[in-house]
Structure 1
Amino acid sequence: MASVSSNCRNYSHTPVLQDMSMTVACIGLPLSCVAIFAVSLMVMASVYLINLLISDFIQFCCLIARAKIEDNNICKIVQSILEAGVTISICFMVLIALERYLVITSPLWYRFRRNIKTSLLVCAVVWLFPLLLFPFSLSNNNTLTIIVPCFLLLPLPLLLFFLVGTLRALSAARSVPDDEKRRIIAILVLVLLFYTLLFMPRIVVFLYTRTKYSETDFGIAAAILTYLSPVVDMGLYVFMKKGFDDFLLKFLCCCKVSHDDPSISREKTDNMNTEASMQLETETGKKADEDE
């Protein structure tokens, strides 16, 4: 097998990549539908989160279509739409992190400046941005392999800045509840972790091979990680729901208690025996006093 291929159809029909794409899509497609419906019912639903889930839905559809398409030209179009979906999802992940950052560092400004029209305008810009790259993605030159890695590297310093700035602001914040602090930090850490683990390997492949269709083992593994990102995005939805962090902490505590159950049982038994002995001594003392 060649290490680099210029044929989208051959690349997408690589056995490992094809099987993994279908598995991810079949699992993620119904989950994304449920998540989109659930988020839309939320009273204070995040516009950026809804758009992130919609981009994930598009990626799942493209994964299924690409695995079944035989024509190379149509495959290139579907692959371009898939890559646009990945780019859009990264943009919305950064916007979610920015939103959490502003909630803590500039709460008054965020409360009075935030409106649905601004959010929709930002979303429209994000969705239109990949159209600028679409002609390059269909061409055979390597322009896109230079533009895309440079663009995908931009979120890394931004996400680090948001995380560090939020941690500093939270350390001095007194009015923010502890559960809200935990949820905000969890969201920012997850966004940074998802970006580093799922997208950085693909960026390395882009920079090293200068092609979208790397069939090396590392190239296939990097592509699989990227296509897992829509499923992992569901974690953002879960952590943005209030009360989940408390539930997780309670669950972990219960697991720890269950794991340590024998020692706890022995300790409880010893305490009960001690209390029984003390009670018996007290009753004996009372009887002795009565006899006297």
Structure 2
Amino acid sequence: MEMTKPPLMPSDINLQTTNESKTSNASNPNSSNDYNGFIGGDLVYTSIIISVEFPMICLAISAVFTLIKSNQSTPVFVINLLTADLIQILCLLLYIIPSEWTANISNGTTMWLTFTRCYFMTCIAVERYIMIAHPVWHRTHRSVKCLVCASLTAWFLPLIVVPPCIFIPHLQYIMPFIPYVVIIVCFALVCRSLSHSISLTPLKKQLVLAPLFFVLMSYTFLTLPGNILFIFFAYTNMDGSLIRLWIFTEYLYMLNPLVDCLLYVFMRSDAENIIWTPHCCSKPKGSQNETQSTMVVTDCE
């Protein structure tokens, strides 16, 4: 088996896509309109994403700040995740500028933010599991020092992870799946812990599990497809359909900040009043049980 082809980085794929498009335009003048249409559509999509996501991220960060109390620590990691999303949006602004050095800065920063977002999502999942499965241990061991250390580790860990991936290219194919496995395990363990709980109503259990569910779905459908296609590109020749598929995964990745804003809703203690619930599913007799379980859910949040 021949494995001598070097792996492609996202910036290499973008540059190769541009070069192939320009070559195609030179050989086939009719494809020039298609290429220009693609560039125009790419800029329009990016501009719409920036105009929508930037104000929503700013509002979400300011709103999550209000949720930080002495007995709540999960919003700290949510704020860091939203901050990484805000930096990603600023990188999209550099992407719009037609310059080579701004494109290099945007690609490098996006790669760093990809690792950072993955680890913050993992922190949210792990802490959510500890809150629910081991509430006493979490209550006695959490501190501002631990939160600061965990946040700084997540921000600077890519600086430690990326260099080995450069010298050992196959590591970059494994690294994105490690946080994904941890998130899946935490989600399964939280589901098992909630299934054994008798003090929470089904609605309360859904609200407790919702942030972890959104983290898992965001990673599965918005982040992971690009990583899988990146591995596929490393050992196959790119054609027009694969390049379009790669661009589609990039568009999906740009939606991450929009989905992360939904985490704010489930960080609120009155989330059940925000989310619409069908009247046919409500049980008036269960109102007393919901009141008794409020203290438990508040501690989980």
TM-score range relative to shorter protein: 0.7 to 0.9
Contact preservation (8 Å) 1:133, 1:144: no
Q: Does 1:22 align with 2:47?
A: yes
Q: Which one is further off, 82-91 or 104-113?
A: 82-91
1:167 paired residue number: 191
Tell me the C-alpha RMSD between the 2 structures: 3.0
CA deviations on 1:1-44 (whole Å, 9 max, x unpaired) are xxx74628949x94443322221111111111111111112243
Mapped to 2, the partners of 1:48 and 1:123 lie a distance apart of 7
Q: Does 1:41 align with 2:66?
A: yes
Amino acid at match of 2:154: V
Deviation of 1:177 after TM superposition, in Å, equals 5.6
Structure 2 counterparts to residues 49-198 of structure 1, below 5 A: 49-70=78-99, 72-132=100-160, 146-176=170-200, 178-198=202-222
Contact preservation (8 Å) 2:68, 2:76: no
Structure 2 unaligned blocks of 5 or more: 1-11, 20-37, 281-301
Deviation of 1:246 after TM superposition, in Å, equals 4.1
Q: Which one is further off, 189-198 or 73-82?
A: 73-82
Mapped to 2, the partners of 1:145 and 1:16 lie a distance apart of 33
Amino acid at match of 2:247: I
Larger Rg: 1
1:235 paired residue number: 262
Structure 2 CA distance for partners of 1:23 and 1:172, relative to 1, 3 Å: same
TM-score norm. by structure 1 comes to 0.74
Contact preservation (8 Å) 1:80, 1:134: no
CA deviations on 1:85-143 (whole Å, 9 max, x unpaired) are 22211211111111111111101001100111101101101111222356689xxxx76
Structure 1 stretches of at least 4 aligned residues deviating more than 4 Å after TM superposition: 8-11, 133-137, 142-145, 176-179
2:293 paired residue number: none
Contact preservation (8 Å) 1:87, 1:130: yes
TM-score norm. by structure 2 comes to 0.72
Structure 2 CA distance for partners of 1:5 and 1:169, relative to 1, 3 Å: closer
Deviation of 1:144 after TM superposition, in Å, equals 8.4
CA deviations on 1:165-218 (whole Å, 9 max, x unpaired) are 11111122234465542212112221111111001210112101139xx87111
Mapped to 2, the partners of 1:43 and 1:53 lie a distance apart of 15
Deviation of 1:73 after TM superposition, in Å, equals 3.2
Structure 1 unaligned blocks of 5 or more: 255-292
Amino acid at match of 1:243: D
Aligned length: 244
